[in-house]
Structure 1
Amino acid sequence: MTPAFGGTLERLTVELNGRRRWITLERRGPWTAPLWLLLPALSTVSSRSEWQPLAEAVGDRRQLLSFDWPGFGESDRDAIPYSAESMGAALRAVLERLGRERGQRITVIAAGHSTPIALGQAAAWSSRWQKFVAVAPTWRGPLPTMSGWPPQRFGWLRNLVMLPLISPLLYRLNTSLPVLRLMLRRHV
């Protein structure tokens, strides 16, 4: 395991789909500082390393904690069904651990598709949250940015991707090792 933003690494056991799994947590900053829980976006190359630029900018003014979602980064990547429920269970385990460790309220910062996972926990946990911040770095998707075309020009593509045979094929292509390597080199 390697620190992604200069912190201390920990392992946390979570129960997912009836099986115990490890997720990797990283913590940086003084224990007495206000805590920010940083949730990485859920994408094909999701990792707590997404928060490295923010960690550098914040320095030691905050304690930062982030983790790799199950199946991503340096967490266990077993062949289990990953779903909103399993991601919610992982977040709940992190929140329970923080609840045992700290008496103060925390700030939760969720990127991209981790936002609905966090909001799914809000009813049970928001009383312990000082703030909730949703960050949407890819709010319009990559194609308009890459092509320079307005999002409206991609309606035909959206319909094509929704076809029963095309969608699974595109997903397999998008998560293939060569494409993941390309994404890691070029834009993530």
Structure 2
Amino acid sequence: MIEPAHSTRGFQLDVRERKVPTPCDIVGSGPAALLLPALSSISARAEMRPLAKNLGHDYRCLVPDWPGFGNHPRSRISMEPVTFHAFMDALIAAVPGPYAIGVAAGHAAPYLVAAARRHPGMFDRLVLVAPTWRGPLPTAMGESRRGLFSGIRKVIEFPLIGEAFYRVNISPPVIGRMMRAHVYADPDHVTPGIIADKHAVTLQPGGRFGTAAFVTGGLDPFKARKDFLALFEGDDLPPILVLRPERAPRRSGAEMDALIASGRVAKASIPGALSPHEEYPGEVAAAIRANL
């Protein structure tokens, strides 16, 4: 099968009185679709390309990098939820759609849903792939240690010593262990080439600031599950499909299950862990088509 057309376009988005360079992949043709990569230490729009190429036979997919993330030099910007909500508004203003579907992976999910609520009619349907709302340290250690997390973030952001600390904790062996533990479901899929690509993302200038914010919960749009679930209340949202990976980590999977149990979203099971859109793009695309 012939691959859909692929190009890259750069935007200068106005986000909280700052110009934020935002490269976007444009893949395929047809009704517009917005595909948002997950937020993580190794986040980049490249992780969405396999899914975009699959969906690109039916949709014209727009795939942006988040501010402070991606495989390119990053402008310094305040890394907090209000910035990411403002980024979504600026992106929608620059490429106003409307969108047949909005797809968001991981931590991008609540930002997409919140944007859909602020912009009624912008999305016909939403797809949340392994949705999360809480960063790694708060998930693993609990909310009571927010003070500790804040201290860790300050250390990583500090000049010189922070960069050294970041490099030690985001080395290729660490990335490999992390991906095998909870990012990919099949350890054999974590190849040296993939680890090298992910490590290249972390080497971009300014990379430690996004990582520091995400890992310590600084990009969590909520502090409690009830607030996350409240985002889905009401009748002013489009239909929402949650793709629940079969091997999601226990704590993250529990949050997905709580959302599904609320009855406010539809559910489909897919293979994978926390990055099924990257590890199993064909299965994710098939689930989207089957349920939309």
Given the two structures, how large is their TM-score scaled by the length of structure 2? 0.48
Q: Distance in 2 between matches of 1:21 and 1:140?
A: 25
Distance in structure 1 (CA, Å) of the matches to 2:169 and 2:49: 23
2:101 alignment partner in structure 1: 107
Q: Superposed, which structure 2 residues align to 1:46-85 within 5 Å?
A: 46-74=43-71, 77-85=74-82
Unaligned 5+ runs, structure 2: 157-161, 184-292
Equivalent in the alignment of 1:179: 169
Identity %: 28
2-structure distance, mates of 1:135, 1:125: 21
Q: Distance in 2 between matches of 1:37 and 1:166?
A: 32
The equivalent position to 1:120 in structure 2, one of 104, 114, 118, is: 114
Scaled by the length of structure 1, the TM-score of the pair is: 0.71
Q: Is the 8 A contact 1:45 1:180 kept in 2?
A: no
Query: CA, structure 1 residues 91+75, in 2 after alignment: closer, same or farther (shift >3 Å)?
Result: farther
Q: Are 2:17 and 1:15 aligned?
A: no
Q: Deviations over 1:62-104 (max 9, x none)?
A: 21111100111146523321111111222212212222xx5x5
C-alpha RMSD over aligned residues: 3.4
Which letter maps to 1:162? Answer: R
Distance in 2 separating the partners of 1:88 and 1:107: 19
Aligned residues: 167
Query: What does residue 158 of structure 1 align with?
Result: 141
Single out whichever of 175-184 and 164-173 deviates more from structure 2.
164-173
Q: Which residue of 2 aligns with 1:169?
A: 152
Distance of aligned partners of 1:166 and 1:88 in 2 relative to their CA distance in 1, 3 Å threshold: closer
Measured in 2, the distance between the counterparts of 1:75 and 1:14 equals 16
Q: 1:72 to 1:114 in 2, by over 3 A?
A: same
Task: Choose 39-48 or 51-60, whichever is displaced more.
Answer: 51-60
- SS of residue in 1 equivalent to 2:78: coil
Distance (whole Å) between structure 2 residues aligned to residue 82 and residue 122 of structure 1: 21
Whether the 8 Å CA contact 2:13–2:19 is kept in 1: the answer is yes
Q: Determine if contact 1:24/1:68 at 8 Å carries over to the other structure.
A: yes
* 1:13-34 deviation digits (Å, cap 9, x = unpaired): 122332212111110112xx12
Question: How far apart are residue 133 of structure 1 and its match?
Answer: 1.1
Corresponding residue for residue 26 of structure 1:
25
2:96 is the alignment partner of 1:93: no
Unaligned runs of 5+ in 1: 143-154
CA–CA distance in 2 between the matches of 1:62 and 1:122?
Answer: 19
Is 1:17–1:80's contact at 8 Å kept on the other side of the alignment? no
**CA distance in 2: counterparts of 1:140 and 1:166, whole angstroms:** 13
SS at match of 1:162: helix
Distance 1:91 1:159, change over 3 A: closer
Runs of 4+ in 1 over 4 A off after TM superposition: 137-142, 183-186
Q: Output the amino acid matched with 2:169.
A: V
**CA–CA separation in structure 1 for the residues paired with 2:107 and 2:9:** 24
Q: Is the 8 A contact 1:22 1:75 kept in 2?
A: no
